[in-house]
């Protein structure tokens, strides 16, 4: 049975010049700094997941919600391809915020790698 709840989702795929085995180690501090919580790292499955809670005033009511993050990575000819997915299952108006959080993560990875 399909859910009647709207779900918003943003997906961003980006290639990085990085050692494949170092991706998880680079992602964890970035995600902690960006306030993602309940990090679950599965290095053997090349995947990280996390949750970030938020709230917003909509229609004169304070709405609370959770963003769900899934990051996976795979070998790529130019290094590693990272797939970032941010979703929010409750409110269809959160699409822009999902996209912003996706971009924020990819930009943070890019900045971190520039410092290495």
- Rounded Cα–Cα distance for residues 102 and 104 (Å): 5
pTM: 0.87
Total structural domains within the chain? 1
> What domain range includes position 101?
8-114
Is residue 2 domain-resident? Answer: no
Residue 90 burial class via C-beta count within 10 angstroms: exposed 0-12, middle 13-18, buried 19 and up: middle
Q: Which among 89, 74, 84 has a CA at the least distance from the CA of 34?
A: 84
- The answer as to whether 77 is a domain residue is yes
- From residue 24, alpha-carbon distances to 20, 39, 84 in Å are 9, 11, 13
Residue 25, domain member (yes or no): yes
Q: What is the CATH number of the domain that holds 72?
A: 3.30.530.50
pLDDT tens for each residue of the chain, 116 residues long: 445 555 789 999 999 999 999 999 999 999 999 999 999 988 788 999 999 998 878 788 888 889 999 999 999 998 999 999 999 988 777 788 899 999 999 999 999 999 88
Has residue 71 been placed in a domain?
yes
Q: Are residues 102 and 8 in contact, defined by beta-carbon separation less than 8 angstroms?
A: no
Q: Does residue 32 fall inside a structural domain?
A: yes
**Is 1 among the domain residues?**
no
In a domain, 3, yes or no: no
């Amino acid at each position: 049975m399909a859910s009647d709840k709207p779900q918003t989702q943003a997906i961003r795929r980006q290639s990085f010049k990085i050692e494949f085995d170092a991706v998880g180690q680079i992602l964890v501090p970035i995600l902690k700094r960006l306030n993602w919580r309940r990090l679950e790292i599965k290095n053997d499955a090349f995947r990280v997941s996390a949750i970030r809670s938020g709230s917003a005033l909509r229609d004169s009511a304070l709405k609370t919600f959770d963003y769900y993050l899934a990051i996976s990575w795979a070998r790529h000819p130019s290094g590693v391809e990272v797939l970032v997915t941010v979703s929010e299952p409750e409110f269809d108006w959160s699409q822009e915020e999902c996209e912003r959080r996706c971009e924020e993560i990819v930009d943070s990875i890019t900045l971190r790698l520039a410092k290495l």
